[in-house]
């Protein structure tokens, strides 16, 4: 769930407007933006695509970003909901090299946190243009759509491969009088953060390998068919101590599949020098010997697919569980049986761990789902998509109260639903923000709209909920509903195999959804789900130390092992040394 976009505070609500600019053959005029009070006219930027930078016209979304902070480039300061600097976004079609487009820092461009640059305090600013480049997709479902294709960057828009940006320009905003047109240029292409091998692709990245960390990348047949172009998924594989020693060449190991956002170079932040708590534990000789795997599935909507088959993102559940998982088993000495596979994850990864255990119960033997994204859409954070009329405000007789989106443990609101959705609207139209949490939930859970893009669950400008879309969410991805409706077939397969934990002061109110899931599932005959709740704990709370957690996983695998497999259990546990001082920090 939480990427960098959901970490801190915002200051103001974005305005409305979502227009697009079509670029013709001639440079665009530099007309002033809409009139505001005479002494504070708005601003307009003229953004030029440098000649020869790209081979042809580009379609996408152009941003103009302003800041007074000189510590980093403006583009590095716009990727957060909270404390983000002012920026304006506008869709652009067919901007040719050497040509310009006019971007009013007011409607029809969408700004955040200011709708109109006329509200900027006078002073000196650092301005920069950025362009999110879209690829055209002709999908197998008939959709003809334009989206950004990430390249090993986890769809971090402002650092994503193939996007364009320009130099920082210092501008002065006067207190009164005319505000001149800003002249900005796009002259640099964002390059892949890792070298792309000859004949390879930047999709899902190309991180370096080491003794204990390996990488697998495959072309997915089902995703390539869906997207109408070659589409890849990948996995990072952390091997246990002694895996490559001759004495262990016949030993096979259980697998922990750790779900989450687009990963770093190694599962759980492992480093070969043992320089952090987890790595020291993993290399100590005292850790149960698992093969830990993380999946890489950045896509044209987000850094992560939610590991399910989706009308808009595609059949990622099928790709990950029936194409990538068998390839990992083939290349490495996993036990390769369901009883020796467990799932873990927190936040987005917590939802994925729970959903994968529920949707693919014959492939996995247990899931530990931490602070998961909403398990019951009666509590989509604080929004009941079925019974509420509005996602952004609660209506009373004489007062509309903003719905919080994030809080401190004290209960103080960090930012509201209206503010966060306003930020996403500025980043992208039609759910194409790339960084937005509400946008990716919409992309995963919604049906395809008539325009080929996800059908909105609510209007981002007004907050009005579409209950027909909500019904699709319920019928396909509401996990509480799914468990209830499939309980006869799931009862034995989930028996003792699902653990859910969350802080009761979760930053994003995810404990509310866990409570509702528990209330509903506890009523089912034979229900045996384990829950842990952290008193006054925020998002990210973990109830175990690293050692406690892996001992828990190991004990679970041993308990599930068929009698005929006891030898396999003995072989991967036999060499573990007595516990030492490592692994005592809280699991992170």
- For the stretch 348-386, pLDDT in tens is 999 999 999 999 999 999 999 999 999 999 999 999 999
Are residues 26 and 136 located together in one domain of the fold? Answer: yes
Element (H, E) at 442: helix 437-445
What is the percent of the chain where pLDDT is above 90? Answer: 85
User: What CATH number should be reported for the domain holding residue 550?
Assistant: 3.40.50
Number of domains in the chain: 3
Strand 341-346 and strand 367-370: the pairing is parallel
Q: With respect to residue 533, please indicate whether it lies within any of the assigned structural domains.
A: no
Torsion of CA 76, 80, 86, 91, to 10 degrees: 90
Are residues 427 and 565 located together in one domain of the fold? Answer: no
Are residues 351 and 384 located together in one domain of the fold? Answer: no
Least confident of 16-25, 39-48, 155-164: 16-25
Q: With respect to residue 502, please indicate whether it lies within any of the assigned structural domains.
A: no
Are residues 298 and 399 located together in one domain of the fold? Answer: no
Are residues 364 and 400 located together in one domain of the fold? Answer: no
Q: Tens digits of per-residue pLDDT, 305-347?
A: 999 999 999 999 999 999 999 999 999 999 999 999 999 999 9
Strand 144-147 and strand 135-138: the pairing is antiparallel
Q: Tokens in use for 149?
A: 């294709």
In the 3-class helix/strand/coil scheme, how is 124-168 assigned residue by residue?
EEEEEEEEEECEEEECCCCCEEEECCCCCCCCCHHHCCCCEECCC
Are residues 353 and 389 located together in one domain of the fold? Answer: no
What is the percent of the chain where pLDDT is above 70? Answer: 92
Are residues 131 and 56 located together in one domain of the fold? Answer: yes
- pLDDT for res 581: 83
Q: How far apart are CA 499 and CA 22, in angstroms?
A: 52
Contact 312, 430 (CB under 8 A): no
- pLDDT for res 42: 79
Q: Tens digits of per-residue pLDDT, 221-254?
A: 999 999 999 999 999 999 999 999 999 999 999 9
Closest Cα to residue 64, out of 39, 49, 37, 46?
46
Q: With respect to residue 539, please indicate whether it lies within any of the assigned structural domains.
A: no
**What are φ and ψ of residue 447, in 5° steps?**
-75, 165
Q: How far apart are CA 341 and CA 34, in angstroms?
A: 59
Contact 260, 235 (CB under 8 A): no
User: What CATH number should be reported for the domain holding residue 111?
Assistant: 2.60.40
Mean of all residue pLDDT scores within the chain: 92
CA distances from 445 to 220, 339, 420 (A): 21, 30, 19
Contact 370, 380 (CB under 8 A): no
- pLDDT for res 41: 62
**What are φ and ψ of residue 381, in 5° steps?**
60, -110
- pTM equals 0.93
Q: With respect to residue 439, please indicate whether it lies within any of the assigned structural domains.
A: yes
Query: Is pLDDT at 23 greater than 60 in this prediction?
Result: no
Q: Tokens in use for 562?
A: 């068929």
Q: Which residue in this structure is represented by tokens 């509702």? A: 516
Q: Which of 477, 502, 534 is the last residue of a domain?
A: 477
Q: At what angle do helices 487-494 and 348-359 cross, to 10 degrees?
A: 110
Q: How far apart are CA 360 and CA 356, in angstroms?
A: 5
Torsion of CA 135, 132, 458, 394, to 10 degrees: 170
Show contacts of 390-394: CB within 8 Å, 24+ apart. 390/458, 390/462, 390/463, 390/464, 390/465, 391/417, 391/421, 391/457, 391/458, 391/463, 391/465, 392/416, 392/417, 392/418, 392/421, 392/458, 392/462, 392/463, 393/418, 393/463
Question: Is-cis flag, bond preceding 108, omega within 30?
Answer: yes
Contact 252, 571 (CB under 8 A): yes
- pLDDT for res 176: 75
Q: With respect to residue 136, please indicate whether it lies within any of the assigned structural domains.
A: yes
- pLDDT for res 155: 97
Q: With respect to residue 483, please indicate whether it lies within any of the assigned structural domains.
A: no
Query: Is pLDDT at 6 greater than 50 in this prediction?
Result: no
**What are φ and ψ of residue 482, in 5° steps?**
-60, -45
Q: With respect to residue 528, please indicate whether it lies within any of the assigned structural domains.
A: no
Confidence label for 40 from pLDDT (cuts 50, 70 and 90): low
- pLDDT for res 25: 33
Q: Which of 452, 477, 502 is the last residue of a domain?
A: 477
Mean pLDDT over 570-585 rounds to: 77
Q: With respect to residue 408, please indicate whether it lies within any of the assigned structural domains.
A: yes
Are residues 173 and 278 located together in one domain of the fold? Answer: no
Q: Which residue in this structure is represented by tokens 């006067």? A: 174
Q: How far apart are CA 381 and CA 447, in angstroms?
A: 21
Query: Is pLDDT at 20 greater than 70 in this prediction?
Result: no
Q: Which of 435, 457, 477 is the last residue of a domain?
A: 477
Are residues 166 and 236 located together in one domain of the fold? Answer: no
CA distances from 574 to 55, 248, 288, 566, 584 (A): 59, 11, 9, 12, 22
Residues 6+ apart with CB under 8 A from 476: 445
CA distances from 461 to 9, 406, 430, 439, 535 (A): 20, 19, 12, 13, 36
Q: How far apart are CA 234 and CA 217, in angstroms?
A: 4
| Burial (Cβ within 10 Å: 0-12, 13-18, ≥19) of residue 526 | exposed
Q: Tokens in use for 264?
A: 């770093």
Q: How far apart are CA 506 and CA 265, in angstroms?
A: 28
Q: How far apart are CA 70 and CA 75, in angstroms?
A: 12
Are residues 272 and 225 located together in one domain of the fold? Answer: yes
User: What's the Rg (C-alpha) of the chain?
Assistant: 25
Contact 287, 241 (CB under 8 A): yes
Query: Is pLDDT at 567 greater than 80 in this prediction?
Result: no
Q: Tens digits of per-residue pLDDT, 72-105?
A: 999 999 988 888 999 999 999 999 999 999 999 9
Confidence label for 119 from pLDDT (cuts 50, 70 and 90): very high
Are residues 117 and 8 located together in one domain of the fold? Answer: yes
Range of the domain at 394: 380-477
Are residues 174 and 223 located together in one domain of the fold? Answer: no
Using DSSP, state whether 172 is helix, strand or coil.
Answer: strand
């Amino acid at each position: 769930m939480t990427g960098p976009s959901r970490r801190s505070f915002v200051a103001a609500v974005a305005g409305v407007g979502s227009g697009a600019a079509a670029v013709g053959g001639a440079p665009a005029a530099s007309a002033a933006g809409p009139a505001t009070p005479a002494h504070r006219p708005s601003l307009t930027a003229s953004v030029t695509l440098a000649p020869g930078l790209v081979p042809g016209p580009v379609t996408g979304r152009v941003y103009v970003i302003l800041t007074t902070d000189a510590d980093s480039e403006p583009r590095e300061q716009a990727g957060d909901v909270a404390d983000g600097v002012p920026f304006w976004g506008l869709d652009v079609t067919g901007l040719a090299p050497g040509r310009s487009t006019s971007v009013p820092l007011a409607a029809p461009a969408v700004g955040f946190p200011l709708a109109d640059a006329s509200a900027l305090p006078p002073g000196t600013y650092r301005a920069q243009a950025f362009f999110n480049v879209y690829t055209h997709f002709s999908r197998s479902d008939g959709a003809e759509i334009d989206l950004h294709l990430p390249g090993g960057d986890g769809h971090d828009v402002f650092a994503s491969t193939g996007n364009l940006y320009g130099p920082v320009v210092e501008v002065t905003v006067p207190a009164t009088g005319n505000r001149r047109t800003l002249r900005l240029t796009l002259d640099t292409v964002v390059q892949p953060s890792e070298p792309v091998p000859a004949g390879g692709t930047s999709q899902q990245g190309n991180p370096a390998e080491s003794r204990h960390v390996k990488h697998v990348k495959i072309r997915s047949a089902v995703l390539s068919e869906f997207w109408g172009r070659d589409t890849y998924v990948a996995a990072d594989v952390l091997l246990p101590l002694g895996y490559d020693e001759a004495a262990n060449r016949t030993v096979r190991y259980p697998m922990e599949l750790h779900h989450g956002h687009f990963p770093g170079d190694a599962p759980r932040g492992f480093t070969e020098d043992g320089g952090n708590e987890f790595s020291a534990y993993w290399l100590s000789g005292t850790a149960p010997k698992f093969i830990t795997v993380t999946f890489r599935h950045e896509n044209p909507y987000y850094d992560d697919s939610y590991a399910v088959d989706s009308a808009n993102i595609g059949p990622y559940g099928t790709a990950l569980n029936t194409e990538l998982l068998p390839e990992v088993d083939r290349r490495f000495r996993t036990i390769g049986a369901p009883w020796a596979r467990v799932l873990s994850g927190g936040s987005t990864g917590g939802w994925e761990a729970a959903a994968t255990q529920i949707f693919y119960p014959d492939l996995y033997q247990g899931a530990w789902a931490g602070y998961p994204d909403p398990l019951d859409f009666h509590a989509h954070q604080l929004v009941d998509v079925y019974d509420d009329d509005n996602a952004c405000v609660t209506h009373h007789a004489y007062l509309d109260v903003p719905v919080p989106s994030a809080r401190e443990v004290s209960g103080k609101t960090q930012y509201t639903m209206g503010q966060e959705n306003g930020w996403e609207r500025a980043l992208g139209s039609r759910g194409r923000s790339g960084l937005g949490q509400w946008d990716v939930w919409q992309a995963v859970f919604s049906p395809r709209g008539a325009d080929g893009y996800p059908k909105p669950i609510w209007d981002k400008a007004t907050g009005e909920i579409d209950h027909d879309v909500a019904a699709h969410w319920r019928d396909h991805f509401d996990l509480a509903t799914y468990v209830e409706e499939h309980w006869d077939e799931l009862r034995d397969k989930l028996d003792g195999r699902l653990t859910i934990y969350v802080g009761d002061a979760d930053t994003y109110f995810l404990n509310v959804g866990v409570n509702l899931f528990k209330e509903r599932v506890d009523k089912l005959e034979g229900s045996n789900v384990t829950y842990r709740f952290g008193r006054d704990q925020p998002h990210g709370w973990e109830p175990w130390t690293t050692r406690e957690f892996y001992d828990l996983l190991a004990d679970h695998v041993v308990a599930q092992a068929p009698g005929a497999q006891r030898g396999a259990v003995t072989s991967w546990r036999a060499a573990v040394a007595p516990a030492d001082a490592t692994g005592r920090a809280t699991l992170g």
